[in-house]
A and B are shown apart, each in its own frame.
Chain A
Amino acid sequence: MSQRQDKEYSLAGEGYVISCQPGSLLVETKIKRHPWKHQVLLRLRKLFKKKNGVTNGTLYKKTFIEHFEQAPMYVAVLTFVGFGVGTIFGYLRDFMRAWGLEKRNVAQEREQQKDFVPLYQDFENFYTRNLYMRIRDNWNRPICSVPGPQFDLMERVTDDYNWTFRFTGRTIKNVINMGSYNYLGFAETDPNALKTVTKELQKYGTGICSTRQEMGTLDKHVELENLVAKFLGVEDAMVFGMGFATNSMNIPALVGKGCLILSDELNHTSLVLGARLSGATIRIFKHNNMQSLEKLLRDAIIYGQPRSRRAWRKIIILVEGIYSMEGSIVQLPEIVSLKKKYKAYLYLDEAHSIGAVGATGRGVVEYFGMNPDDVDVLMGTFTKSFGAAGGYIAGKKGLVDFLRTHSHSAVYATSMCPPVAEQIIRAMKCLMGLDGTTQGLQRVRQLGKNTRYFRRRLHEMGFIIYGNDDSPVVPLLLYMPGKIGAFARRMLEKNIGVVVVGFPATPITESRARFCVSAAHTREMLDTVLNALDELGDFLQLKYSRYSKSSHPELYEENRFEFED
Chain B
Amino acid sequence: FVCCISFWILFSQGKAPAYHLILEGILILWIIRLIFSKTYKLQERSDLTPKEKEELIEEWQPEPLVPPVSKDHPALNYNIVSGPPTHKIVVNGKECINFASFNFLGLLDNEKVKSAAQASLKKYGVGTCGPRGFYGTFDVHLELEDRLAKFMRTEEAIIYSYGFATIASAIPAYSKRGDIVFVDEAACFAIQKGLQASRSNIKLFKHNDMTDLERLLKEQETEDQKNPRKARVTRRFIVVEGLYMNTGDICPLPELIKLKYKYKVRIFLEESLSFGVLGEHGRGITEHFGINIDDIDLISANMENSLASIGGFCCGRSFIIDHQRLSGQGYCFSASLPPLLAAAAIEALNIMEDNPDIFQTLRAKCKRIHRALQGISGLRVVGESFSPALHLRLEDSYGSRENDVKLLKRIVDYCVNRGIALTQARYLEKEEKCLPSPSIRVVVTVEQTEQELDKAASLIKEAAESVLN
Q: Which residues of A contact B (CB under 8 A)?
A: 107-110, 112-113, 115-121, 128, 132, 139-148, 151, 154, 177, 179-182, 186-189, 191, 194, 197-198, 201-219, 222, 241-245, 248-249, 252, 254, 268-270, 273, 276-277, 298, 301-302, 311-316, 342-345, 376-377, 381-384, 386-389, 398-399, 401-406, 408-414, 417-420, 423, 497, 499
Contact = CB atoms under 8 A, between A and B. Distances in A.
Given A141-B135, A301-B56, A384 B341 contact: no
Contacts of B286: none
A423 B294 CA distance: 41
Contacts of A182: 129
Nearest to B102: A209
Interface in B74-109: 75-76, 78-86, 89, 91, 98, 100-103, 107-109
A93 B340 CA distance: 43
Given A216-B85, A219-B83, A268-B333, A143 B135 contact: yes
Contacts of B127: 147, 186-187, 382-383, 386-389, 420, 423
Interface in B426-455: 426-428, 431, 441
A302 B58 CA distance: 10
A404 B165 contact: no
B48 A302 contact: yes
B122 A119 contact: no
A405 B304 contact: no
Contacts of A243: 334-335
A245 B78 CA distance: 22
A180 B123 contact: no
Interface stretch (B189-197, B364-372, B374-382, B460-468): B189-197
Contacts of A214: 78-79, 100, 423-426, 441
Contact of A345 (B48, B65, B333): B65
Contact of A383 (B66, B322, B335, B427): B335
Which has the most chain B C-beta neighbours within 10 Å: A186, A210, A342, A499? A210
Given A180-B135, A249-B164, A399-B66, A277 B309 contact: no
- B contact residues, range: 35 or more
B333 A270 contact: yes
Interface of B: 48, 53, 56-57, 60-69, 73, 75-76, 78-86, 89, 91, 98, 100-103, 107-110, 113-114, 117-118, 121-130, 132-139, 141-142, 155, 161-165, 174, 188-190, 193, 196-197, 231-236, 261, 264-266, 294, 302, 304-305, 307-310, 317-320, 322-323, 325-326, 329-330, 332-335, 337-338, 340-341, 344, 421, 423-428, 431, 441
A398 B164 contact: no
B235 A383 contact: no
A161 to B, nearest CB: 17
A180 B129 contact: yes
Contacts of A198: 118, 121-122
Contact of A116 (B85, B89, B266): B266
| 3 tightest A-B CB contacts, nearest first | A207-B308, A402-B66, A242-B162
A142 B142 contact: yes
A315 B63 CA distance: 9
A187 B174 CA distance: 35
A120 B329 contact: no
B163 A413 contact: yes
Contacts of A398: 66, 68-69
A301 B122 CA distance: 55
A207 B113 CA distance: 10
Contacts of A107: 155, 317-319, 322
B162 A241 contact: yes
Contact of A245 (B130, B164, B232): B164
Nearest to A400: B66
Contacts of A313: 62-63
Contact of A269 (B317, B318, B329): B329
A295 B305 CA distance: 49
Given A191-B122, A244-B330, A399-B66, A143 B138 contact: yes
A389 B338 contact: yes
Given A141-B137, A389-B127, A244 B165 contact: yes
A213 B75 contact: yes
